[in-house]
A and B are shown apart, each in its own frame.
Chain A
Amino acid sequence: MGTFLQFVVLGLGLGSIYIGLGTGLLLVHRATGIINFAQGAMAMWGAYVFAQLRVDGTLVFPIGSIEFARRPPIEVAALIGILTAFVLGLVVHYLVFRPVRHAPVLAQVVVSVAVMITIQALVVLRFGPNNIDVASILPEGSISVLGTDLPTREIIMAAIMVVLAAAVWAYLRFTRAGVATRAASENERAAVLMGFSPDRLAAVAQVVAVVLGTISVMLGSSLTGLNPDNYTLLVVPALAVLLVARMESIAVVVVAALLLGAFQSVIGLLVTKSWWPVWAQSGLDQVIPFAVVMVILFVQGKRLPSRGSLQTIRLPDVSIPKLKPVPAVILLVLGVAALSFTQGTWRFGVTTSIIVMLLALSYVVLTGYLGQISLAQGAFAGAAGFALSKMTSAWGVPFPLSLILSALVATALGMLVALPAFRIRGAQLAIITIAAALAIERFVFNNYTLSPPEGNPIADATLFGLNLGVREGRDLARISFSVMVLVIAAILVWVFIRVASGDTGRTFLAVRANERAAASSGIDVRKTKLIGFAISAFIAGIAGCLIGFSRGQLSAESFTVFAGLQVLAVAYLGGITSVGGAIVAGVLGPLGIVYTLLRGVFDLGEYYALISGLGLIITAILNPVGIAGATREQVAWVRRRLSRSGPPPSTVPDAPAPKEPSRV
Chain B
Amino acid sequence: MSDKGLHTKGLTVRYGGLVANDSVTIDVDPGTVVGLIGPNGAGKTTFVDAVTGFTASAGEILLDGTRIDALPPHERRTAGLSRTWQSGELFGNLSVAENLLVAARAGGWRTLVRDIFVPRRKVSDDVVSRALEVVGLADVADTLARDLTLGQQKLVGVARALAGGAEVLLLDEPAAGLDSMESRAFAARVRSIADSGPGILLIDHDMSLVLGVCDVVTVLEFGKQIFTGTPAEARTDPTVVAAYLGAPVEASHA
Contact = CB atoms under 8 A, between A and B. Distances in A.
Contact of B119 (A498, A514, A521): A498
A413 interface: no
A509 B54 contact: no
B101 A506 contact: yes
A527 interface: yes
Given A495-B116, A524-B74, A524-B108, A506 B52 contact: no
B98 interface: yes
Given A304-B73, A499-B115, A513-B92, A523 B106 contact: yes
Nearest to B92: A664
Nearest to B82: A520
A518 interface: yes
A499 B119 CA distance: 9
A241 B30 CA distance: 54
Contacts of B55: 307
Contact of A524 (B54, B89, B92, B106): B106
A514 B89 CA distance: 7
A507 interface: yes
Interface string B117-161: 001100000000000000000000001101100000000000010
Contacts of B82: 520
Taking chain A's interface residues, is the majority helix, strand, or loop, or is none over half, making it mixed?
helix
B222 interface: no
Contacts of B114: 502-503
Interface in B160-206: 160, 164
Contact of B91 (A501, A517, A535): A517
B112 interface: yes
Contact of A318 (B89, B93, B116): B93
Given A513-B94, A517-B91, A506 B116 contact: no
Given A304-B73, A499-B115, A517-B89, A510 B54 contact: no
A522 B74 contact: yes
A502 B85 contact: no
A654 B142 CA distance: 10
A520 B111 contact: no
A417 B233 CA distance: 57
A627 B94 CA distance: 21
B116 A498 contact: yes
B91 A522 contact: no
A519 interface: yes
Interface string B59-89: 0000000000000111001100011010011
B77 A521 contact: yes
A41 interface: no
B85 to A, nearest CB: 7
Contacts of B241: none
Contacts of A508: 107
Interface residues of A, number: 40
A504 B115 contact: yes
B74 A502 contact: no
A522 B103 contact: yes
A531 interface: yes
Given A304-B73, A522-B74, A523-B107, A502 B91 contact: no
A525 interface: yes
A503 B73 contact: no
Contacts of B119: 498, 501-502
A517 B90 contact: yes
B112 A520 contact: no
Contacts of B107: 503-504, 506-508, 523-524, 527-528, 531
Interface centre among B55, B90, B105 (most CB of A within 10 A): B105
A506 B93 CA distance: 11
A509 B93 contact: yes
Contacts of A516: 54, 85, 89
Interface residues of B, number: 42
A664 B102 contact: no
Interface centre among A501, A504, A516, A531 (most CB of B within 10 A): A504
Contact of B102 (A506, A524, A656): A506
Contacts of B83: 520
A237 B82 CA distance: 44
A326 interface: no
A317 interface: yes
Contact of A304 (B54, B77, B93): B54
A320 B106 CA distance: 18
B115 A513 contact: no
A642 to B, nearest CB: 20
Interface centre among B90, B107, B116 (most CB of A within 10 A): B107
A314 to B, nearest CB: 9
Contacts of A317: 93
Contacts of A528: 107
B233 to A, nearest CB: 33
Contacts of B215: none
A63 interface: no
Nearest to B46: A307
A657 interface: yes
Contact of A504 (B88, B93, B111, B143): B111
Contacts of A523: 74, 102, 106-107
Contacts of B53: 519
B86 to A, nearest CB: 10
A657 to B, nearest CB: 5
A503 B120 contact: yes
Interface string A356-373: 000000000000000000
Nearest to B84: A520
A520 B94 contact: no
Interface centre among A502, A508, A525 (most CB of B within 10 A): A502
Contacts of A654: 143
A498 B89 CA distance: 28
A513 B93 contact: yes
Nearest to A500: B115
B91 A513 contact: yes
Interface in A467-514: 495, 498-499, 501-510, 512-514
B110 to A, nearest CB: 10
B112 A499 contact: yes
Contacts of B144: 656-657
A525 to B, nearest CB: 7
Contacts of A505: 115
Interface of B: 49, 52-55, 72-74, 77-78, 82-83, 85, 88-94, 98, 101-103, 105-109, 111-112, 114-116, 119-120, 143-144, 146-147, 160, 164
The 10 closest A-B pairs by CB, nearest first: A502-B115, A507-B107, A522-B77, A513-B91, A521-B103, A519-B73, A517-B89, A510-B102, A503-B105, A522-B78
19 contacts: A318-B93, A498-B115, A503-B111, A506-B101, A506-B102, A513-B93, A514-B90, A518-B91, A519-B74, A520-B54, A520-B74, A520-B82, A520-B85, A521-B102, A522-B74, A531-B107, A657-B147, A664-B88, A664-B146
Interface of A: 303-304, 307, 317-318, 495, 498-499, 501-510, 512-514, 516-525, 527-528, 531, 535, 652, 654, 656-657, 664
Given A524-B108, A531-B109, 10 more contacts: A307-B55, A499-B115, A509-B91, A520-B85, A521-B164, A522-B78, A522-B103, A522-B164, A524-B74, A664-B92
